[in-house]
Amino acid sequence: MAKSKKPKQLDPYAPVQNIRIFLPLPFMHLCKLLQVQPEIIIRGLLLDIGSTINLSNVHAQQRATEYFLSQKHGQELFTEGQIRQMLTELGLIMGLYPLYEVKNPKALDRWRDLRKDFFIVWETKWQAMKKQPSIVNSK
């Protein structure tokens, strides 16, 4: 009898994910009534958290940041102020693209590489500042 293969573990932090989530019934009814696909709303929220800072989305981004902070995500490792700073920096990094149309694919690749390098510097900086989570004594 052949052994069945275990499913391959996927990277939980990969930029592209297939996620099955429960959508609350009231949310589904609202989406249906408004004729807005739930994915559009969810994507919009995710893009507003840490997206490129510009005048057209500044209010939506501020509200998304406030929502994110109100949920206390990561606040056992960083202060609220630090997380707010992280989100601001991510928005600035996301804006690292030329303001003009780049016709040379190699030039666009250099911009992408630069942004990738900034993400590495950003993550290294914040990893060094991370607090150790408090461990409950089991005595």
The pTM for the full model equals: 0.76
pLDDT at residue 137 is higher than 60: no
Q: Enumerate the domain spans of the chain.
A: 25-129
What does the pLDDT look like over 73-83, one tens digit per residue?
999 999 999 99
- Residue-wise pLDDT tens digits, 29-77: 999 999 999 999 998 888 888 777 666 778 888 899 999 999 999 999 9
Comparing C-alpha atoms, which of 83, 93, 134, 82 is closest to residue 116? 93
Dist CA 65 CA 2 (whole Å): 51
Pair 130, 78: CB distance under 8 Å:
yes
CA distance 13 to 49: 16
